[in-house]
Amino acid sequence: MFKKIAVGISGGVDSAVAALLLKQRGYEVHGVFMQNWDIMDEKGTCTLQADYNDALYVARKLDIKLHHVNFVKHYWNEVFVL
């Protein structure tokens, strides 16, 4: 049985609870913060750093390692294909 698992961590409640429950069941949980976007919204705000800080806070509280992966190029090239 696999004992190491990756959980997408957004900093929200759902991903935090999922990671906590898995950790309580004995899994070695690794958090993954996926960066899919890197531009400002219509108001000129980029919330990437705030989102990452939320995910980092959750990971620290749960005492799990957080991996930051950048999928911006893949997202633009494979989701927004013209």
CB atoms inside a 10 Å sphere around CB 59: 23
Amino acid at 13: V
At 38, give phi and psi (nearest 5°): -140, 15
Cα 2 to Cα 6: distance, rounded to the nearest angstrom? 11
pLDDT tens figures, 43-81: 666 678 888 999 999 999 999 999 999 988 888 788 877
pTM for this structure?
0.80
Given a contact cutoff of 8 angstroms between Cβ atoms, the answer to whether 8 and 49 are in contact is: no
Which pair of tokens denotes residue 32?
A: 């993954």
Q: Mind listing the domains of the chain with CATH numbers?
A: 4-78 (3.40.50.620)
Report the pLDDT value the prediction gives residue 73, as an integer from 0 to 100. 85
